[in-house]
Structure 1
């Protein structure tokens, strides 16, 4: 049994997350097939509680209250909480930026980032979503998730070129994923951001399911020459976090 008003609120939030520039009252009501009068009252209440904000153009966008809630949600993720000391130790050992991500709706979502003093230019930030097919973390999921799950994801996504190194052919990607599965880690060779080289490995839970991925990222001219050293530290960290969460 669902409560109609609660269901509508959730649908509004789900809709607006896809439109960062915002939508008008009419656009929201039309897209969700809702009456404008009741939709207006819901939007007004959500704005008052800071779950939504209104722009000068009278469009509704996700509001600041959601940042607080989202941050707290990340803190309650067992794998995120358990992983923090290991991620920091990994960063100190390899002296590069370390990330952790989970999968949400066929994309990866960054849940942790540990910066190194040798900062790396990257658009990746906690809470940001990125494609699976062209990132080290995303390709770790594709390589180590069950075959059926991987095929289902690939059947639903497009693979546009983001850099000149992006793999856009699904057969070529599948060949690469097989190699990553054999190696035990994945590689992003400037495929999502120019000059950025990323190595990523899977994290498992007590049921043996892949729940997250951890990565080391940095400029290619720094990371590539040290790949074997970094991979050793990366795999050790992924194993330690997996064991800490029951694997």
Structure 2
């Protein structure tokens, strides 16, 4: 199963994020970012948000397919980071785009976590024994409206990307971005789309590395940073849109 990099959805779904992680001086306490205490806070925040939403059943919203992606947090040279993949140019869909490892739910997958882990093992040769799964985030719709994607937050611990065993049929390369640079305002941009008569929506773009991160990958990253580092990540979308009854305190 190939990984998925998704283009812009028709609407955005924003996370409600409350709380702040401890900071030392002007920089984030790196120990806190991927710590058990922050894991506990994030899981509690996600559970509270899910409980507050009255979501429709998939069959009522037109969703007929499910997919999942892994958000692989890690330490690289003592820097809290996130892993991304560059999709193979040989793929029929979304070739050469930046993505998180993941794909469509297959028969035998027990849940979205199982899908994200299986796909990550297939694409990266990920050692699943070293993955600390924090849990699923809120699902987002694919632009076609018939696919729902669930991001799975996980901590890989200390890694060296050279140790990944890539499936080059699906992935050209793997790279990491440190979370502090992703949180920087100078590496943040946004694009607003205004199709009549709905009024439009805004999507984030992350700069500063060798690859520009955009589309649904950037939207998921925006939500992730709001969740794991609300005291550090302060970039906001100027024209957000929500899905259903989702409440947003941070855009």
TM-score by length of 2: 0.25
Higher normalized helix content (fraction of residues): 1
Higher normalized strand content (fraction of residues): 2
TM-score by length of 1: 0.25
